[in-house]
Copies of this chain bind each other. A is one copy, B any other.
Amino acid sequence: MPNSGQIPLSTLERLPAYLRAIDALVSHGVEHAPSALIAQRSGVSSSQFRKDLSLVGASSGVRGSGYDLEALRDQLREVLGSADRVGFVIVGAGHLGHALAASMSFRRGGLDLLGIFDIDEAKVGSEIAGIEVRHDSQLATFIANHGVSIVVIATSPSSAQDVADVAVKAGAQELLNFASVVLHVPPCVEVRSIDLGVELQMLALHARAGLGALSSQSSQASGM
């Protein structure tokens, strides 16, 4: 039962790392592995790995001999939704937009990149990751027509709120905001903000404070 409505976000965020570790093992011909091995390759404790699987409802482990990797992979993929796909668009075809589009080119986790938009006429018509760049003025219509629920904002901070307003009005459910501003949207719209600069800043703090001095949970933090 893929009751994903109950799975903690912290657990969900580790699943992709588990999948990567399993994929790597499978591609080396390994068919079975204990939790300790998969966990180590994923950068977590075996306790946490098993706990996460338990929360996710996956159960392809056999006491005494570990996990059937193929079966486990299929279960995790199902949770992460390889099945039903969700369409999204990227607004902003600068370097960040490019990088994001590339990161989605091998269609991971049920996401379909449907369109890329930019305000610069010079970029309109070019192709990124096999997708034609359209002008911002077509954004609202495109969202409405294609039932796009996710809009990734990779614009300058100054246009981010405008784009958000258009997207929300056209029916977007979720915004992923890479511009360094706090977006204001109706409560029914989910916003996740990511600031590349902030992440670097955090790392600098670690370096300054000396290793281990900060109350950091793990040395291999994952997710954004």
The residues of A with any CB-CB pair to B shorter than 8 Å are 4-9, 12-13, 16-17, 20-21, 41-43, 80-81, 84, 86, 88, 94-96, 98-100, 102-104, 108-111, 149-150, 152, 173-174, 176, 180-183, 187-211, 213-217, 219-224
The answer to whether A220 and B193 have CB atoms under 8 Å apart is: yes
Asked whether A95 and B99 contact (CB < 8 A) given A192-B203, A199-B224, A201-B111, the answer is: yes
Bound Cα distance from A109 to B215, whole angstroms: 19
Bound Cα distance from A181 to B19, whole angstroms: 11
Chain B neighbourhood of A108, CB < 8 A: 197, 201
Asked whether A182 and B20 contact (CB < 8 A) given A198-B224, A203-B192, A211-B190, the answer is: yes
Bound Cα distance from A109 to B103, whole angstroms: 27
Q: Summarize A's interface: helix, strand, loop or mixed.
A: mixed
The answer to whether A221 and B193 have CB atoms under 8 Å apart is: yes
The answer to whether B13 and A202 have CB atoms under 8 Å apart is: yes
What's the least CB distance linking A38 to chain B, in Å? Answer: 11
Partner of A86, one of B196, B199, B208, B216: B208
The answer to whether A182 and B98 have CB atoms under 8 Å apart is: no
Chain B neighbourhood of A96, CB < 8 A: 95, 99, 102
